[in-house]
Chain A
Amino acid sequence: MNDYVCLRNLSLNRHKNGSSFTLLVPELRIGCGQTLAVVGQSGCGKSTLTDMLALILRPDGADEFSLQGPDGTINLMNISKRQQAFIRGRYIGYVLQSGGLFPFLSVLENIMLPAKLLGMPSSALKDKAKSLAVDMGIGDQLYKKPQFLSGGQRQRVAIARALIHDPKLVLADEPTAAVDSVSAEDICEVLKKSVNQHDAALVIVSHDRGLMRRHADYEVTFELERRDGIVSTLQPPVKISQSGNLL
């Protein structure tokens, strides 16, 4: 198995409203084709972890925090903000809570946007976006504005948008928070299937353990301690069996 993102002995400290929060990650490896579910109660550090993976927060220190680029390993600890922005745009795809679609762009334009920002030629892009949309089951909605779609459809558009530029890592932060449970199952299904098809790693953050156990390959959680403030340590990933139980 190919590890795409590696984190080792990583720590990050945040001060929020006078209290201190520290996230420790002893080791986390995310491989291509894997689905990792990040679960836990509120305030356990799910968001902090995703922000780090999304290259928005920079860890205070780490023995390793790297990503496999096409030309070798990229050390994410000492890159500039501009490089961060580039890597975000090039290697990572995002599925946001309520889609995060641009209201003034059509579905097709929304899907193509990340690739266009990378300067990919638009003729080939259009076909790719259309086939992605068909895969997502929204092939007949291409020229509508997002405001005319249902919540589930919007999330499908968001998934298509996250995959258009062939990222190796897809981050989904509570992708089902705004939809009903039936649609949530559906979206998770589509998300996992399409990410697998693109041979990318998928990280889903969710508070819904049941849902995650039905769809993810691995599950990580946090252990909270109260020392000087809150210290949260990421537990090693646990594989989930086909039946949905932890192995």
Chain B
Amino acid sequence: MSKASQVAYLSYKDVLHEWRMTLCVMFAVAAIATPLLLFFGLKSGVMDTLQKRLLGNPVTMELLSVNEKKLDPAWFEEQRKDPRVAFVIPRTRRLSASAEFFVKDKPKRIKKSIDLHPTDDGDALLKHYKAQAPGDGECVLTAEAARRIEAATGDVLVATVSRDRGSVKVTREFRVSAVLPDEAGATPSAYIRLHELEQIESFKDGMAVPELNWPGSDNISSPVVPSALLVLDRELDAVREAMLIQNTGFVSLKKFPPACSDDGNSEENVDKMRPYLPYIPCDKYVYMVSSVGSPSSSSDLSSLADRVRGRSDAYVFPFNPYLSVSVGEKNFAIIPRTALQRSVKDATECSNSACVFTVKQPGRVFGVSPDIAKEIGSEPQTVTVNYHEVNSRGDVVDRNVEFTAVFEPVEGVGSNYALAPIALLGQLSNLQMRDLSDSEMTDGGRAFTLKRRGYTGFRMYASKLDDVMALQEKLAGEDIKTISRADRIAEVMSLDYYLGMLFWLIASASLLGAACCLVANMYAGIERKRKELAILRLLGVHGSTLCIYPLCCSMLLTIGGIVISLIVFFVLAHVVNSAFAAQLQGDEKFCDLTAFHLLSTVSIAVLIAAFSGLAASRRVMKIEPSESLRDE
């Protein structure tokens, strides 16, 4: 190996000795490499900056729904489980999401309208600007909002919400927990927690918010029923029968003749109905009318009752065949306790408005057979009422509501049935369309209120740049239209691609030129040093060892050239970056190469040097030692 290292040393001394020649070749290499480095540096610096800005700006990752489609909380839960979703929050209706704000303790009141947006822990927008999500009674303002009302972090703001053209006003206070910079959005906005925004929305909708003592109507579910039973002593004539489903809100009709009539030909039908209404004598005629789609209201029932007005034998029962109540392990079908305005068994049952369908807070009492009532006991029980229907389209409707009720014994009720006040039955029938909750009212009582139907929109942030497109496609598949910056992302990506291609086109031409230049230089160098190389052969250096000579020369020249061009590059890059400093933020650079790029540059240079050195060494192999012996 000593020969090889000596040959390498000799080539080094040679390169050093011919320093003028060496510098020329090094500058030639630098002249090729420097523009390439600069071009690549600019490309990678600019693209990197663009991508970082895109990535850094949470707006890039934002997806906003544009069409109004009801999305229930379960849908949001599902989205949160998707790893591509960094954050998603429902939006309330835009029209109701604003309030008048002013700073509480300032002598000069500047009152401005500010848009309200829902937020929660993990909001990508707030997180990016290092603002903590606001807690209850707190808000985060945009810079514009803070400017308009001259508020600062820590100030207490008073928000005024009004409805009915300002005739009803309520206020609440928010403490400013943070102010976002201008980049976060140009509109005057305040971010508050979702449930607080929902309260404001409810108030604007005319509802009361008992927690905040905001006035309004209680959102009590008005009673409905999908069906009604008409019980008569005598059969209706065809005209009257038809009138039952004429403008009554009911559209289908079923007739059940008496079970114990003389002709006795409809035993089967009667038996089907009998258990529902155990208190109906078997010789009655029963008609069942039903609505299709949305259930019928109390006015529909009144219309139905009007059709049989004046007939003392007629009873109208609100009816829902899909409701059941369970307590513990027991489960009962719910049937009406009384008819509309009329008691079936005795007059006392219609006291306390038990026979009124529209009572707001009906008694929560279920009548069951005495044996069962005894078993359950007279203590209030937690019960679950379930609505289960497979509708004509095959969709399953299954909703529950839980509340406290008592059970009392009623003679003659089948063991599978529970009698419910018709008003309670009517309210629970809302489960067909909406979820219900058992809420406290402004007067302190309890009533069933309709739960929020869902949300019409959302604000979503994707986890990564690539996820934006994927999420947008996925949501489009669910018929949810969204807007995002996906097109901007695609633009940057394709710009990167084409610039990269351009670079490689130029680079490959230049590298070819560089290789040719080096090969030519090496050939010439060997011709000049033929004598010396021949002497080395004479001094016992074998041809293959001698190949190290041009290889080393080539490496030294190329690496020297690359070092020069790197120095020039760094100087120029610094100049470029300083010149554009005004356009750059933080550690952004217009012209930049990563360690990987630098390593690749040196590697490519070494490869080209090796190639030209090896090409030249073919010539070295042909040098004969005899050439050194005499001058010819």
Question: What range describes how many residues of A lie at the interface?
Answer: 20 to 34
CB within 8 Å for A88 and B13 given contacts A100-B628, A118-B2: no
Nearest Cβ on chain A to B548's Cβ, whole angstroms: 12
Contact indicator A51/B2 (Cβ below 8 Å):
no
| B16, B18, B626: residue with the most chain A Cβ atoms closer than 10 Å | B626
Interface bin, chain B: 20 to 34
Residues of B500-554 at the interface with A, using a CB-CB cut-off of 8 Å, are 531-532, 535-543
Inter-subunit contact A85/B541 (CB<8 Å): yes
Q: Is A174 an interface residue (CB 8 A)?
A: yes
- B542 adjacent to A82 (CB under 8 Å): yes
**Interfacial chain A residues near B532, Cβ < 8 Å:** 102-103
Residue of chain A at shortest CB distance from B629: A173
Interface flags, A82-117, vs B, CB<8A=1, else 0: 100111111000101110101111000100011011
- Chain A residues numbered 106-135 whose CB sits less than 8 Å from any CB in chain B: 109, 113-114, 116-119
Is A183 interfacial (CB 8 A cutoff)? no
Question: Is B165 part of the binding interface, using a Cβ–Cβ cutoff of 8 Å?
Answer: no
Residue in B closest to A81 when the chains form the complex, CB atoms: B542
The complex places the Cα of A102 from the Cα of B540 at a distance, in Å, of 15
Contacts of B628 in A (CB 8 A): 94, 96, 100
Known: A104-B14, A117-B3, A118-B2. A85 touches B626 (CB 8 A): no
For the complex, is B624 an interface residue (Cβ under 8 Å from A)? yes
Name B16's contact: one of A50, A104, A174 (CB within 8 Å).
A104
Question: How far does the Cβ of B594 sit from chain A's closest Cβ, in whole Å?
Answer: 39
Instruction: Check if B81 is an interface residue, CB within 8 A of chain A.
Output: no
Q: How long is the Cα–Cα vector from A51 to B10 in the complex, in angstroms?
A: 25
* A54 proximal to B (CB < 8 A): yes
> Is A56 at the interface (CB under 8 A from chain B)?
yes
Point out the residues of chain A lying under 8 angstroms from B16, CB to CB.
104
Contacts of B542 in A (CB 8 A): 81-82, 85
Q: Is the CB of B13 within 8 A of A117?
A: no
Asked if B375 lies at the interface with its beta carbon under 8 angstroms from chain A, I say no
The answer to whether A85 touches B17, judged by C-beta atoms less than 8 angstroms apart, is: no
Q: Please report the C-alpha to C-alpha distance between residue A87 and residue B538 in the assembled complex, in whole angstroms.
A: 10
Known: A56-B624, A117-B3, A117-B6. A89 touches B629 (CB 8 A): no
Return chain A residues, CB-CB under 8 Å to B17. Answer: 103-104, 145
Residues of B within 8 A of A51 (CB): 626, 629
A100 touches B535 (CB 8 A): yes
Counting chain B CB atoms within 10 Å of each CB, the highest count among A85, A109, A119 belongs to A85
**Is B539's CB under 8 angstroms from A105's CB?**
no
Cβ contact within 8 Å between A56 and B629: yes
Neighbouring B residues of A56 by C-beta, 8 Å: 538, 624-626, 629
Contact status B539-A88, CB under 8 Å: yes
What A residues does B20 contact at CB under 8 A? none
B306 to chain A, nearest CB (A): 122
User: Smallest distance from the beta carbon of A191 to chain B beta carbons, Å?
Assistant: 16
Beta-carbon contact of B14 and A117 below 8 Å: no
Taking a contact as CB atoms under 8 Å apart, the answer to whether A89 and B540 are in contact is yes
User: Is A47 an interface position by the 8 A CB rule?
Assistant: yes
Task: Say how far B527's CB is from chain A's closest CB, in angstroms.
Answer: 15
- Please name 5 further chain A to chain B contacts, defined as beta carbons within 8 Å, in addition to the given A98-B631, A114-B540, sorted by A numbering: A85-B537, A100-B628, A104-B16, A116-B6, A173-B629
The 8 closest A-B pairs by CB, nearest first: A89-B540, A104-B17, A119-B2, A56-B626, A85-B542, A104-B14, A104-B13, A88-B540
Q: Which A residues have a C-beta under 8 Å from some C-beta of B?
A: 47, 50-51, 54, 56-57, 81-82, 85-90, 94, 96-98, 100, 102-105, 109, 113-114, 116-119, 145, 173-174
